[in-house]
Amino acid sequence: MSSPLPPPDSRATGIGALPHTDPRQACDEVISLFPEIPYVPTLPNRGLLETIVFNDSSRLPGGVVRDGKLRIDSTRDLAAEMEQIYLDFMEQNTAPYAFSPEYYSGFSEMAGRDFSGSLFLKAQVTGPVTFGMQVVDENRRPIYYDDQFADVLGKMIALRARWCEQAMNRFSGVTGTLVVLNEPYFASLGSSVVPVSRDSVAAGWHDIAGMVEGGLGIHCCSNTDWEFVMSLSPSLISFDAYTVAREFLLYPDDLAGYLEGGGIIAWGIVPSQPDLFRESTDEQLYRVFTGIGDQVTGFCSPELFYRQSIITPTCGIQSGDAETAFRIMQAARTLSLRIREEYSG
């Protein structure tokens, strides 16, 4: 397994994106609501470069933005740019893969905060599958279907993830780190329409896991091959439990083994879509979680389920306004506090 994390004991945290455009406000709210498991928010509404894929694209070989889309410029010397990534990977030269404020303003803002008392600090990078499936070549073919690009992407993201955890470890008060790969395109596993090779996915994962020394997780907000995901042994699996818990729980033996081995599940219980959130109540969300707990404790102990769980929104919160996003995060915290009070009582 990737490096184990301290048991979260059903504490709460958030997922990736927030609709805020003020990094200070976004980080203030995250730290106030999730002091024990704070996370570094991404702020895509600030501009294109802070959106998924774009915010991790600064070292993409041949990468160019055209008409608001990230493309590959085949007129550039792609071989030389790829070779540099291979060299950097072998030498663990992470400096060129640093986050800059124009790509990740939330990270720059968090760098000046104090995290004393937290279990670990969480940040997010775009996973290689999602990256490679959203960027196309001159023939409009996803670059992930090019074997060399797929290989390079795993190493490029590994360098970026390693730089991220190194930087977080220098933040005041940080005692542990978790880098989460944002992989919505894991939904393509097993798809006949946009297929993704499990061997290629595993190779990229192992490149990243071999370089990252702290916690390494996976977030997928759609249904996927959860048996395969658990077989990768990430430190944490984060998913939309509000929508796809039934499918996730189809693998009780794998899940029991994963939890017993120190794996953590971030149960996305609180809807991140504002319209769906407004239709929910604290009591309804509590019933969703306890319903999941009733099933999981059929094949593992209640203590293990409680100890290895985190409560989160279902996904990042990009739509809506900052006030609604705050209430969504607050609902996750409220649910967590209720669970922790009942368990400790």
Residues 164-195 pLDDT 10s: 999 999 999 999 999 999 999 999 887 777 78
What are the pLDDT digits (tens) for 81-140? 999 999 999 999 999 999 999 999 999 999 999 999 999 999 999 999 999 999 999 889
- Condensed to tens digits (0 to 9), the pLDDT of residues 315-330 reads 999 999 999 999 999 9
Whether 4 is covered by a domain: the verdict is: no
Indicate the average pLDDT of the chain: 96
- The answer as to whether 5 is a domain residue is no
pLDDT at 192: 73
* Selection from 22, 44, 53 nearest residue 317 by Cα: 44
In a domain, 315, yes or no: yes
Answer yes or no: is 58 within a domain.
Answer: yes
For the chain, the domain total comes to 1
Structure confidence by residue, pLDDT tens digits, 245-265: 999 999 999 999 999 999 999
Tell me which of 332 and 343 has the higher pLDDT.
332
Please, which residues have CB within 8 angstroms of residue 138's CB and are 6 or more apart in sequence? 71, 72, 74
Q: What is the pLDDT of residue 321?
A: 96
C-alpha distances (whole Å) from 243 to each of 188, 239, 305 are: 17, 9, 19
What CATH number does residue 187 fall under? 3.20.20.210
206 part of a folded domain: yes
Picking from 102, 314, 139, the residue whose alpha carbon sits closest to that of residue 221 is 314
Q: Is residue 67 part of a domain?
A: yes
Model pTM score: 0.97
The whole domain housing 46 covers 11-344
Confidence of residue 229 (pLDDT cuts 50, 70, 90): very high
Q: What confidence score (pLDDT) does residue 345 get?
A: 60
Mean pLDDT of 4-19: 97
Q: Please report whether residue 74 resides in a domain.
A: yes
Residue 154 lies in a domain: yes
